[in-house]
Amino acid sequence: MDNITDTPVLELKNVTLRYSSRKRLALKKFLLSKYEREKVAKQTNSSRSDALSDVSIKFYRGDIVGILGRNGSGKSTLCRVISGVLEPTEGEVISRLDIGFLLSLKSFFSKELSGIDNIYLTGALLGKTKQEIEEKIDDIIDFSELQDSINKPVETYSNGMLSRLAFSIATTYRSDILIIDEVLSVGDKYFKAKCKKRMESIIKDSQLIILVSHSDSDIKKMCNRAILLDKGKVILDGSVDEVLEYYT
């Protein structure tokens, strides 16, 4: 990765997200059915505790930033807002680089659809065109090793199969800014080794990495900076050692 610069490449200015308000889901370049829109809205509105409150953060080129906090502190909501899946109620997100995300994409899978159809769905959520998705389909299927099940409804998939498909979709597309939300370990020992090798390559190529993890060792090993969230607010933004000591 490049050396850290003084000019932020990603900035959140006074971002607030109120689930009680009527917010708009920014599902880029994809028109969901009414059923799917209602389904996604229910998922994102199911917990008020994940709201963000007046969050201002600057991210710099070369940063690898760990996001810490208890369940319900707003970590995944922050990822969704940065990646554009959710629009803030107030404030703005400013990016000078291409934003991708490695969210827990299986949360957006439609169980009634096949694996191949969900590749199109999640690709669209990542802002990819139909042509861009089709160019990557073979790579996604090959890496996931789900050739025998890709045309079956994902409701027949095990949790491991769902995670493998989600990881394969998300990591096939490369962006300047990578957001990792608790998906560093997927599948059995062999597949985890594959994932680790791919992650090393992605991290090397990315200009900014935002890592959400409950693993202190992952944060210590990978990050140069950490941010602690609680109830949707930034409690502390500083060195990894400083934030981990405060958190624990």
- Rounded to an integer, the average pLDDT of 13-41 is 59
Euclidean distance between CA atoms 71 and 124, whole angstroms: 28
The predicted-structure confidence for 54-91, as pLDDT tens digits, reads as follows 999 999 999 999 999 998 899 988 988 998 878 999 99
95 neighbors 61 (Cβ within 8 angstroms)? no
126 neighbors 85 (Cβ within 8 angstroms)? no
What is the full DSSP assignment across 181-224? ES-S--SSHHHHHHHHHHHHHHHHH-SEEEEE-S-HHHHHHH-S
The predicted-structure confidence for 210-235, as pLDDT tens digits, reads as follows 998 878 888 898 899 999 999 999 99
- Phi, psi of 180, rounded to the nearest 5 degrees: -110, 120
Name the strand (E) or helix (H) holding 52.
strand 52-60
Euclidean distance between CA atoms 68 and 238, whole angstroms: 12
pLDDT the model gives residue 174: 81
pLDDT the model gives residue 42: 57
Is pLDDT of 46 > 80? no
Domain spanning 1-97+207-247, CATH architecture: 3-Layer(aba) Sandwich (3.40)
Euclidean distance between CA atoms 88 and 78, whole angstroms: 10
Euclidean distance between CA atoms 243 and 86, whole angstroms: 27
Q: How many residues does the chain have?
A: 248
Euclidean distance between CA atoms 187 and 159, whole angstroms: 9
Tokens of 58: 């600057």
Helices 159-172 and 189-205 meet at what angle, rounded to 10?
20
Sequence spans of domains, the chain: 1-97+207-247
